[in-house]
Structure 1
């Protein structure tokens, strides 16, 4: 959805970064790193304070993706408390989860990052991997402007 890409581009310009941890912090969203077992992360609002919970047992690239995904919920669906993000949620076709995944892909892999690979033999999947994006969601990258 081009609308999500536009929202992400505006967010990157406003915050001068595509780092989801920095954007969340600048937006006043509380980040909590805690053991969550098989749950990757989730977002909820408590007394008008948005909170993103991230499983502290994940590797750094996956923490970054989870933060971007949950930030997507905070930006696109602030009134919803989201279901837990799990590995199988990456394949989920639920509209809300798909939008959060698309938001994360657009945030972590903006067009200018992709352009650096245009004259190489690297595939989009390889480029996405360098930015910590799971291969299951790379197809959500929007190339339209």
Structure 2
């Protein structure tokens, strides 16, 4: 699965990079609730796509979590990462990295990056408000 191609297709189809708008267009359900120990999670239940987001997060963090969980919804629909993580010995790191890449490709366009190519990863991180790890993931998919 080419994550960047999937993101670009979604952005063209929905004419937005806003994960909340895309989720609404896909008839998925977003539930804001105080969550314990997680910032959000995705669940496929009775043919419904449901994304839970910790309501105590800032708007900026909620947008990132929403994009990340949308990534799980589109990339890992049949995988129950919470179950796998808590009940099995399977490593879910690959799924989490893919969802992070999806989120960052959705949230940060190539055009935004091109405007700031003179910045270091640390400067990108401060400017956009995402961790250096996430910025590094995004830069791998640049162009």
Deviates more, 1:122-131 or 1:75-84: 122-131
Q: Give the structure 2 partner of residue 127 of structure 1.
A: 124
CA offset digits 1:73-122 (Å, max 9, x no partner): 011111123329xxxxxxx971111100110111111202212223xx54
Q: Give the structure 2 partner of residue 88 of structure 1.
A: none
Q: CA deviation at 1:144?
A: 5.2
- State the alpha-carbon separation in 1 of the partners of residues 36 and 127 from structure 2: 25
- State the alpha-carbon separation in 1 of the partners of residues 12 and 112 from structure 2: 14
Alpha-carbon contact 2:121-2:136 (below 8 Å) kept? no
CA RMSD of aligned residues (A): 2.2
5+ long unaligned stretches in structure 2: 84-90
Task: Please identify which structure carries the higher helix content.
Answer: 2
Alpha-carbon contact 1:62-1:132 (below 8 Å) kept? no
- State the alpha-carbon separation in 2 of the partners of residues 25 and 131 from structure 1: 25
Q: Which has the higher contact order (CA 8 A, sep 6+)?
A: 1
5+ long unaligned stretches in structure 1: 85-91
TM-score when normalising by structure 2: 0.83
